[in-house]
Chains A and B, each alone.
Chain A
């Protein structure tokens, strides 16, 4: 499983396929506060959409250099902060 709920957060690991988008969205609706994507090697565009639209804070730096280089600047929330609003 590439996505799982871990307490307050959502853990992404390995390749996150399109199905993970729905799960992530559900977790977000159920009160998850942040996403830890340090173990993530790829993310489907649908998952990116959820990250962009949900305002979920991000923790860690993705394992894949491609993601780290291009997606980190794209996502608005600093990786260690929790969004309060």
Chain B
């Protein structure tokens, strides 16, 4: 069990880790996308939870970065649906929102998110958090190409 396929997607595999950004704000998707693509991740986007689930079901992601407030299906519902679906249940989720209260943090965790960042997320903080959650070493140590 410790050697589940999931384990392969950890530190420093050669294919880029795939990240799904679920946010209704184009500008936020673009911002996260630019920041993370610059770090060498493969990016995908969805504009709400519903679309996010559909994407996650047909493609395996190493991490989902999810907004809380979205039309159609919000971030909480997205994580719940993700966790309830065997194919996607173990996907790590980083939730981001402009709400900074402790209650919001708690709600995110209760919904099943692995971590919570308050928007606006600084590029460095986003990159560092994503790298840690995906299991990638900080850039300098990482062999840039195998």
Whether the complex brings A and B within 8 Å at their CB atoms is answered no
Residues of A whose CB lies within 8 Å of any CB of B are none
